[in-house]
Structure 1
């Protein structure tokens, strides 16, 4: 995976390094924040303390618990190692390490995505969560598969593009929490305590299942195009007779 396609000016490289540092540190912070409670404390105790989503899954069947823990663990691994794949020095000076870390990342995405898809029907946000998180899970696995296929066929540029898109979806774990905080804070003048705070969280979660990842994917596509990598297109200009275009998703 790479974000670098052509030589860039010093100012652009500086912005890129700042952006990478922010992404790496925020991914690390959320990986530790989201995973640590579940690997150190039983689910029923977390539910009693009102931690995270423990209360929503405490009384679910064993297979839901298994999918829940698989998603948390694999998602945490993907967040930890994903930014390393965009580290230019690692990619250029230690390609074997880059490939090994990439394999770990792709396996983590596969496990986390399948687990997320299994959890979508029983998520705590109802039908909005089912649609938003379910779509995210499908796209997460699909973009990883496209990136893997591209590198296996030797198409490095397409691999780079697909993995930028894929990590933007991995990063939804970070933006989900940022957006939730922003939306809850936006309601703060009307929040007192207790039920009001719960209602504010519920209101925020009515849009977060989509807001957590759609802007990320849009920004990823902007980045892909700015880097001159193969971009997604909706209309194939070479298809059909004059005046007719077949709608499809492909690479430009």
Structure 2
């Protein structure tokens, strides 16, 4: 089967589904106490529920969007899930994320990171959608990869959170620990994957040019 040639699809789908299955249910109960982020600001909880629900739509549909076999085998459904990803996922999740990021209870360092992440998420997704509408599919693919990386950065954020906690737990006063851990994990959670994805996008054309130049130098 051709889809088996992309062995990363299965593990990626498993991790994403498991993450959503663990993260989403507490926000479907309507109980503020079960929210993993607490705030005294009145609109915080409904905005948080909105953000989590629509972000779950975005992260689930993003897996389908980057699945090469599905994209080539079912182009019409690829376009349909793309619209769901943009308008029922990233757009509402990103807009609510802007407000939540600015009002985060974890301090100004995390706030700046969250707001910048939300802005870039919206911009990258819009550029990917615009490129697809203009049938500039090479640009669409690049912007979609960047959008996808920011979509799944919530998962890497959790990983970096554990690393940051283990690194600073014994060095930071207990009262300041949540802010320090959040400040580290919110930045590394999306900046590191985005830089790696950009390196990967830039690396492939360079390799192709190098191979072409090498072929040109081979005597006939």
| TM-score, normalisation: structure 1 | 0.73
- Does 2:50 correspond to 1:52? no
Aligned partners of 1:29, 1:60: CA distance in 2, in Å? 30
- Between 1:121-130 and 1:167-176, the stretch displaced more is 121-130
Q: CA deviation at 1:186?
A: 3.1
Match of 2:98 in 1: 117
Alignment partner of 2:36: what SS? Answer: coil
Written as runs of structure 1 = structure 2, the 5 A alignment for 1:1-252 is: 16-18=6-8, 20-40=9-29, 42-43=31-32, 45-46=33-34, 52-53=36-37, 56-57=38-39, 59-62=40-43, 64-107=44-87, 108-187=89-168, 190=170, 196=174, 200-228=177-205
CA distance in 1, matches of 2:111, 2:176: 20
Shift of 1:41: 5.2
The whole-number CA distance in structure 2 between the counterparts of 1:134 and 1:114 is 10
1:11-44 deviation per Cα after TM superposition (whole angstroms, max 9, x unaligned): xx96x523x333322222222222111113511x
Quick one: structure 1 residues 128 and 225, their matched pair in 2 at CA, closer, same or farther if it must change by over 3 Å?
same
Shift of 1:203: 2.6
- Quote the offset at 1:94 in angstroms: 1.1
Assess if the C-alpha contact under 8 Å between 1:180 and 1:201 holds in 2: no
Runs of 5+ in structure 2 lacking a partner? 207-220
Do the aligned residues in 2 keep the contact of 1:31 with 1:77 (CA within 8 Å)? Answer: no
CA distance in 2, matches of 1:22, 1:183: 25
> How far apart are residue 165 of structure 1 and its match?
0.4
C-alpha offsets along residues 61-112 of structure 1, whole Å, 9 cap, x if unaligned? Answer: 13x3332111111111111110111112211111111111111111110111
Q: CA deviation at 1:199?
A: 5.1
Structure 1 regions of 5+ residues with no counterpart? 1-12, 230-252
**CA RMSD, aligned part only?**
2.3
Q: CA deviation at 1:52?
A: 1.6
2: CA distance, partners of 1:76 / 1:165: 18
Instruction: Tell me the TM-score normalised to structure 2 length.
Output: 0.83
Q: Name the count of aligned residue pairs.
A: 202
Q: Which residue of 2 aligns with 1:240?
A: none
Greater share of residues in helix = 2
CA apart distance, 1:202: 3.5
